[in-house]
Structure 1
Amino acid sequence: MFDADRISRRSWRDLLSSRTAIVLGAERAGQIAGCCVVLLRKRSRKARLYSIAAAPGQSGVGGRLLAEAEQAAHARGAASMRLEVREDNLRAIGLYERFGYRLFGRKLDYYADGATALRFEKPLALQPLLGTPPQAEHGTTPP
């Protein structure tokens, strides 16, 4: 999936057991097709897409994982999602832009090989929480 900046086995174990990480996987024909990690912070409404990868030839997996990551982060209370992406990763940048992410910054020398990262953010859809009564409209109160 990635040739550099890989997540170590120890880090995977830590992420899988962390209460502040969301780890998602995609499978096709019994094989791992992709994976995604979202990090959450206590007392913050900003989630961070830490990693997303699809195996070669797995068209559409990245978009499905991204959509599921957004839903999972929102369900855990996140109001927005941030991410960093290599400046030369045009395919990923296109995916993020199609999903409504907007560029808000750059980080020079961010990756192990010295590559620059672009920073993107997206507000997550506002949906009522389960068990929340509907809002009053036009001065009326819910039944």
Structure 2
Amino acid sequence: MATRSSLATGIGRVLIAVYGILALAATGRSVVQIIEKFSFAPFAYTVSAIAAVVYIVAMIALIVPGRSWYRVACVTIVFEMTGVLVIGTLSLFDRQLFPDDTIWSYYGMGYAFAPLVLPIAGLWWLRKHHRTASAEPVAASTTAPVGE
């Protein structure tokens, strides 16, 4: 059986908590935006919904032990970092594309730049625990003892 992920210990717990908070914030924001005024800024509100999904998946991937979930966490957090940088830059230069803010607008300025700092911290944490995650067994051994 897979052992408890070392990603969910120490600072990893703080990362998981922050991902959970941002997941709730982005989900709430995107649901309200999409229901109430989607036609005003469809691209921006779609980005908010994508960010919500990214935060949820990243949080789950940091909680669940195993190599596969470690890889999911890596891919998700790299996607998140790319999104923050691309959307942050676009929001600076194209107000028509972003008539309303997303969680990643202006590199997360509306959220005290947590969306910019979080993927950096997440990638650092994943890198720090790369060997531990790679060494975890994928599944429980199902072989019977010799002689049976």
**TM-score normalised by L of structure 1:** 0.32
- Larger fraction in strand: 1
Taking CA–CA contacts closer than 8 Å with sequence separation of 6 or more, which of the two structures ends up with the larger relative contact order?
Answer: 2
Q: Greater CA radius of gyration, 1 or 2?
A: 2
